[in-house]
């Protein structure tokens, strides 16, 4: 998994922000979107650059939900299962999503196309139930909408 990781981009991103520890989370967020996750090789480089132990860098990376340390599917679905979405029908929509993809929350499809994760409330519960696929937000979901929406990403 750790092959073919080009560190040039990482170095560029780190140089841009400098090595004040206040910038660590911002740097990790940018690296996460650049590589899709935070590979170990990249974290080692971050550790050198900030002059902080790798355990500290890993500790921070594994704490925040917007940072991931394992590669995920090509499309990441973040489903909101918080109470305000729950009471307006999220469970039925989630059931339809899990059935359509044949996986549960936290899993990735065999073809590595989709991963389903949960999201904390993204504050658009007024149009719940809600999910985000990559950067696209879908609201007012009904179970029958799911196949049509997923088709756009297949």
Partner 1 sequence: MALYRAHVIVSIDSFSILKGAIEVKDTLIDKLKKYKLDQEVKVLEMSTLGQIKDVPVILIYPEKVVYAPVKVEDIDEIVEEHLLKGRVVKRLIKELPWLPKKPKLEEARIVLSNAGLIDPELIEEYIANDGYVALGKVVKEMKPDEVLEVIENSNLLGRGGAAFPTGLKWKFTRKAKGEPKYIIANADESEPGTFKDRLILEGDPHRIIEAMVIAGFAVGSHIGYIYIRGEYALVIERIKNAINQAHNMGFLGENIFGSDFNFEIKIHKGAGAYVCGEETALIESIEGKRGEPRTRPPYPPTYGLWGKPTVVNNVETFANVPPIIRNGPDWFKRFGTERCSGTKVYTILGNINNKGLIEVPMGISLRDVINIYGDGIPGDKKFKLAQTGGTSGSIIPESMLDVPMDYASMMEAGAALGSGALLICDETNCIVDLLKPLTHFFNYESCGKCVPCRVGTTKIYKIIERISRGGGLNTDISMLEDISKTMAATSLCGLGQAAAVPVLSAIKHFRGEIETHIFDKICPLGVCKI
Binding site for partner 1 (CB under 8 A): 21-26, 28-29, 50, 56, 59-60, 63-67, 81-84, 86-88, 90, 118, 120-128, 137, 139
Counting contacts by CB under 6 A, is residue 82 touching ligand FES?
A: yes
Enter the tokens of residue 147: 């196949």
- Measured distance between the N- and C-terminal CA atoms of the chain, rounded to whole angstroms: 24
Tallying the residues shown for the chain, one arrives at: 154
Residue corresponding to tokens 């998994």 = 1
> Stretches 13-21, 23-31, 61-69, 123-131: which one binds ligand FES (CB under 6 A)?
123-131
- Given the DSSP bridges, would you call strands 131-133 and 136-138 parallel, antiparallel or unpaired? antiparallel
For residues 33 to 52, the per-residue mask of contacts with ligand FES, x marking binding by CB under 6 A and - elsewhere, is: --------------------
Provide the 10 A C-beta neighbour count for residue 83. 11
Residue with Cβ nearer ligand FES (27 or 116): 116
Angle at 47 between CA 6 and CA 118, to 5 degrees: 75
Q: How far is the CB of 75 from partner 1 (least distance, A)?
A: 18
Contact partner, 30, from ligand FES, partner 1, none, Cβ < 5-8 Å per class: none
Residue 132: how many other CB atoms lie within 10 Å:
18
- Contacts with ligand FES, residue ranges (CB under 6 A): 80, 82, 84-85, 121-125, 128, 130
């Amino acid at each position: 998994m750790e092959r073919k990781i080009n560190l040039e981009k990482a170095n560029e991103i780190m140089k841009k922000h400098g090595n004040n520890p206040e910038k660590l989370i911002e740097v990790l967020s940018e690296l996460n979107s650049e590589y899709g996750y935070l590979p170990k090789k990249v974290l080692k480089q971050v550790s050198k650059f900030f002059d902080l132990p790798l355990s500290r860098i890993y500790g921070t990376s594994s704490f925040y939900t917007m940072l991931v340390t394992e590669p995920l599917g090509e499309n990441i679905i973040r489903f909101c299962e918080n109470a305000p979405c729950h009471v307006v029908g999220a469970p039925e929509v989630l059931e339809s999503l899990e059935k359509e993809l044949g996986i549960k929350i936290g899993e990735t499809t065999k073809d590595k196309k989709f991963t389903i994760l949960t999201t904390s409330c993204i504050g658009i519960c007024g149009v719940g139930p809600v999910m985000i696929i990559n950067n696209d937000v879908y609201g007012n979901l009904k179970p029958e909408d799911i196949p049509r929406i997923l088709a756009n990403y297949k």
